[in-house]
Structure 1
């Protein structure tokens, strides 16, 4: 493929990586819909264009209007490589997407969550395949590397700019007074708004920069790594993510073992200089960031100048080290490298403020909280061990089985989340797919598994895999390290997709490729529809009355599985339509607590005490450790009791009041059980007042 085309492709990759990070890491599906269908459309469009170009080229060469005349002809005749340049290992995400599609036949916990995951994995597959079509020849690897570096500079540089107050972005810094979460009271979260993910990304980039520094064949590659490596290390420190720190340490050790002996000396020296530079930068950046409070322009000129001076000095230091190392070799240099690295670690301990040491030596309560997630996840897994319950299983169902009160919409393990969603079968397919891609990387450059492996290791104890940006970055590195022929081997000729015939393996290849095309087409259509629903809902925010209701109806028509739209529309719909509108949503999310709660309140408004109590009871059963949920149920039934008394319906009033008191008694009982387990779950003042009112009402009512 011409270099200019690859250059344009690398610009698109850099944009997609940077933009996905900027849009909150593409954690929220509403931000990702548009780009999902765009990526799938690009993949299919490029493949069709490439194969068509190959067909035309071979026709011209053979001067024959007949198809498939030349069995020896290949896509080498095509200007643009297509599906045939995509390795079989890249179809792993397609299998995951298909499994999510099949989950729709197995009564998933959430139809919307399952479809969203199918769309996501189709988009990931499209991104991976497009990357192999654009960069799979391995002819211009520096262009993809430049795209990764540019995106990394945007993510890391943007995060540091937010810390220093140079730019403003929502929740770029997580401020907290809880020393269990932060030693200094603030953690850098970046555009993704999550310190742990930012720390993991910074750690992976840090490891990659050391690899580039140790192997840089050109001045430009060396300079780019020298400029980014200390900011990456500084970002890692500012996130205060212990999991990311430990993952980065493991990555450093793995890199040390995998690089060659001459590279090992550089690895030690460059990492030692990075540690010193990052420690010094941290001293200047810490107070400036705390003073800025995330406000633009508040860090001060002196802190800005000092930080920039440290970063520039650090980058220049790498050039000096490179020149010095190039003139020396042998055992003495190795001993000096080890000594320098040991000294740098000791210096870092002295440079860093003592308060940050506490982050490593104590406050491990968050690890205990995650152990509760994992125990409850095991209970949930046992309900559907083979096939799982589809997308968003944990988010939809954990409140039903949680043993203690906690806030945990994410299970904090990407692999466990996959196990809950797709069961053992899905997890096995997932691990095999990743393993095949890593094998491809290992066979071409085994050091490539280090930054990739860092991302995969940390995801075992956090929800990094819930972010679209995570997968785009991971797959970009996989493409970068696995593109091109094997070392010492020849590039294998590839066949254009349009040529039929041939052996069974090639026929199977065509069938798999066409399956991917069909999947991308269907997923892109859903992505486009869901994106339209998001737009209609956004329009409804600025409208009122009938116009607002009409816009929400359009949104619901585009995405009938979205419970949030149903609840918002029900508030505007006539009373006689509300229950039917809400009940229809239970077909797609049968255990949706917001839907059940809204249904209970809807029936309470209509004076139907039996139905109101039934739906609110279900809502409490599926989410018994939510104070708001408990309070809403008690207050609603008390209000219904008062209304029934005013309407001279004493039997209904008595039933509603007794139900309110039963709900309150269960609330109190759960609070006592939580206290015995060392957790707080006190009844709310509103629920106490409602229970007291219901009790008075029962005392005032004559015996039935």
Structure 2
């Protein structure tokens, strides 16, 4: 017997909206939003000011969408059931980010993230109310799948060397097009060429593809019309091929676990259909994998239209065959299958055997591909990736390092976190070795760092409650009700599961899909009635709409102003490289930007550079005082920003406050302990200032600076020694070694202290083959002079240096005779 409470609530959750003009306006606007965002929005925080403007546009668009939505479905806001409750509680997520601003590692990133979190809240509320309507639900599901299929085909345009065509198609609305092509739609790294489509990062594209693969399987197995079977069946091969061409090991590892979870939610007949379609599409993809891979690699290196057409023929013909097979299965086999397994379906635990069996078979296939010669059937670039799937591979060891380092950061910001973008702003101060990742490669770890334990608990409870209520209602409901919103469950589970291994939700578009999906799940969840408040429905509606309206207006206005500030900085960046650039012309947009965001890092650094030039040219302390006030204020809000600190050092130096500049550099070594260029700067200054003190016969100052330089040099050596203890499979990251500049400065210090042998050993560390470079030439010169002082020589280096410049012989002899 059906649960009466659930039946009543589900009826409410599928109540149709009034199909007036506003209904269509809201739906069309959301369609355009979902089509625009994947091509427009990249990573938030850390990619520079040029990537901020599209995000602010998206925030404003989401705010407008919510206003339109509130006009359309405001009568449903009664705070009568738990769906209304979660639509209200979603504001706790942006509020937790607002609280974290006050201890933020970067005020700029933190404020950006607050706006982004409000956007997600708006999208969630839209989903909660809008997706109760059956037609809206259908329209949005079609839009999600249609836009996903466009993204996949766009990826193949680039894989088959037709990036210019792809760039022209999207250049009118995408900021990611440069020189006529979409940047990094196919990216190259140490693993070779990897397909990324609009995401510019292969692992996130893999997470997206995994979600769309399961969504496609769901649609082809449940929809009744032949053209639905054909469309979704046709796209299975491009999805699977794209997933493989990303070379994402994480995607391949996570996929079986997500498949197991989703299969457990399906009826046995649907489970069988999923497995059948996966097998058919998988075999078809395997047949053309080698030629499609080879053709892609060939046309990327040198485009050939005929070869590219051949690649398209392989893809389209194979997809056509699979699409037609899907039509046959849907029309003739699926109905009989439903009837044939009725008896099995009625048995207890009938829905768990096939998922478990599929997981076992999938695991066996994966093991065979990893551990046996079966992998030799794969293209070389893909085979190498399979060979490297183990817990000692670099990417796995690096991720564990990220997580440990994130916990160090959390210890300093335990309760309310370090604010949005905390990891990207502060990771250098906590990193174990000099890796370059501005992402923690785990959404949950990164979220924990940003909002602290309290904010993280709020997030987990909120999402967990929606999952619990949705699954509870799903189990109780009939088939049609089960399937109405299951697509959103697929999207959310797939993306969140993969986000355990990567930073997918740092992509605004991926987070939009997740929060819209959560809204869709909430729209259909098992929603129990709430105790009625004494206030009437109209009063409650008025309070709720007023609060959300205030939030929308505040967020949209702020996003608009921030967009203007970013545009001002972009204007300066463009203008600075032109002959027409003037101090007044550059200053005005910077002042405008700083009047909106007083500690905007890019604007502050740019304006500081102008003020430094003004001071150098006029020696007017007004420039110095203004610059110092600007940088001090910016540094308070951006304590980990390296560019701001560098500007402060420069300002001190041009003002003659060299001791303050040096102390500032030394004091901030812990923030950049694996940045060898920072050590270069400090050690070079230690030599310069010590040498100046030596010339002034200030022995105390000389020893102070020289000793500081030697102490910092020892830190470099200790760091190099530590890096040798990293696990064998873990890459070091950025270079961390004795550079020619470091060797030259320390070698000179040691020579001035009479430590000739030590100087020779140090300078030898900095020797480079390219002696046309002035620093390298100086290192060789001082190295040979130090050896000569010890009665030794290095004939090979000497001959090479003399071959570059015969006058070096005199300089070496003169240095060798110099006494200090």
Q: TM-score range by the shorter chain?
A: 0.7 to 0.9
Residue of structure 2 in register with 1:61 after alignment: none
Superposed, which structure 2 residues align to 1:464-613 within 5 Å?
A: 464-483=504-523, 502-503=534-535, 511=543, 513-543=545-575, 544-546=581-583, 547-573=585-611, 574-575=614-615, 576=624, 577-613=626-662
Q: What whole-Å deviation, never above 9, does each CA across 1:659-688 have from its counterpart, x for those lacking one?
A: 444433322232222224464731211222
> Are the equivalent residues in 1 in contact too, given 2:442–2:499 (CA < 8 A)?
yes
Structure 2 CA distance for partners of 1:336 and 1:138, relative to 1, 3 Å: closer
Residue of structure 1 in register with 2:323 after alignment: 315
> Are the equivalent residues in 2 in contact too, given 1:3–1:140 (CA < 8 A)?
no
Q: Tell me which of 488, 500, 503 is aligned to 1:463.
A: 503
Residue of structure 2 in register with 1:675 after alignment: 724
**Displacement after TM superposition at 1:208 (Å):** 0.7
Looking at structure 2, the residues matched to 336 and 408 of structure 1 have their Cα atoms a distance apart, in angstroms, of 40
Does the alignment pair 1:98 with 2:95? yes
Structure 2 CA distance for partners of 1:145 and 1:219, relative to 1, 3 Å: farther
Residue of structure 1 in register with 2:243 after alignment: 236
Q: What whole-Å deviation, never above 9, does each CA across 1:245-294 have from its counterpart, x for those lacking one?
A: 22222222223222112222212211211211222342232112211227
Structure 2 SS opposite 1:2: coil
Looking at structure 1, the residues matched to 384 and 342 of structure 2 have their Cα atoms a distance apart, in angstroms, of 37
Looking at structure 2, the residues matched to 639 and 648 of structure 1 have their Cα atoms a distance apart, in angstroms, of 14
Q: Tell me which of 398, 414, 433 is aligned to 2:443.
A: 414
Q: Tell me which of 215, 227, 232 is aligned to 1:208.
A: 215
Structure 2 CA distance for partners of 1:533 and 1:657, relative to 1, 3 Å: farther
> Are the equivalent residues in 1 in contact too, given 2:492–2:513 (CA < 8 A)?
no
Does the alignment pair 1:685 with 2:725? no
Residue of structure 2 in register with 1:428 after alignment: 457
Structure 2 CA distance for partners of 1:486 and 1:608, relative to 1, 3 Å: closer
Residue of structure 2 in register with 1:437 after alignment: 466
Looking at structure 2, the residues matched to 377 and 366 of structure 1 have their Cα atoms a distance apart, in angstroms, of 16
> Are the equivalent residues in 1 in contact too, given 2:63–2:555 (CA < 8 A)?
no
Q: Tell me which of 268, 272, 281 is aligned to 1:274.
A: 281
**Displacement after TM superposition at 1:548 (Å):** 1.7
Root-mean-square deviation (CA, aligned residues, Å) is: 3.7
**Displacement after TM superposition at 1:426 (Å):** 0.7
Residue of structure 2 in register with 1:292 after alignment: 299
Residue of structure 2 in register with 1:666 after alignment: 715
Which has the larger displacement, 198-207 or 96-105?
A: 96-105
TM-score (norm 1): 0.84
> Are the equivalent residues in 1 in contact too, given 2:115–2:559 (CA < 8 A)?
yes
Structure 2 CA distance for partners of 1:638 and 1:458, relative to 1, 3 Å: same
Structure 1 SS opposite 2:465: helix
Unaligned runs of 5+ in 1: 55-74, 496-500
Structure 2 CA distance for partners of 1:413 and 1:250, relative to 1, 3 Å: same
Looking at structure 1, the residues matched to 252 and 411 of structure 2 have their Cα atoms a distance apart, in angstroms, of 33
**Displacement after TM superposition at 1:40 (Å):** 4.3
> Are the equivalent residues in 2 in contact too, given 1:82–1:133 (CA < 8 A)?
no
Unaligned runs of 5+ in 2: 1-17, 46-50, 164-180, 345-352, 475-481, 576-580, 616-623, 755-814
Structure 2 CA distance for partners of 1:324 and 1:7, relative to 1, 3 Å: same
TM-score (norm 2): 0.73
Superposed, which structure 2 residues align to 1:26-425 within 5 Å?
A: 26-28=43-45, 30-46=52-68, 49-50=71-72, 75=75, 87-105=84-102, 107-167=103-163, 168-176=181-189, 178=190, 182=191, 185-293=192-300, 300-326=308-334, 328-329=336-337, 330=340, 352-353=378-379, 356-362=382-388, 364-425=393-454
Structure 2 CA distance for partners of 1:673 and 1:133, relative to 1, 3 Å: same
Structure 2 SS opposite 1:300: helix
Structure 2 CA distance for partners of 1:295 and 1:26, relative to 1, 3 Å: farther
**Displacement after TM superposition at 1:209 (Å):** 0.7
> Are the equivalent residues in 2 in contact too, given 1:6–1:143 (CA < 8 A)?
no
> Are the equivalent residues in 2 in contact too, given 1:20–1:26 (CA < 8 A)?
no
**Displacement after TM superposition at 1:90 (Å):** 3.2
Structure 2 CA distance for partners of 1:226 and 1:619, relative to 1, 3 Å: same
Structure 2 CA distance for partners of 1:3 and 1:313, relative to 1, 3 Å: farther
**Displacement after TM superposition at 1:314 (Å):** 2.1
Looking at structure 2, the residues matched to 133 and 613 of structure 1 have their Cα atoms a distance apart, in angstroms, of 59
**Displacement after TM superposition at 1:403 (Å):** 2.5
Structure 1 SS opposite 2:194: strand
Looking at structure 2, the residues matched to 686 and 155 of structure 1 have their Cα atoms a distance apart, in angstroms, of 47
Which has the larger displacement, 392-401 or 108-117?
A: 392-401
Count of equivalent residues? 660
Structure 2 SS opposite 1:587: helix
**Displacement after TM superposition at 1:366 (Å):** 0.9
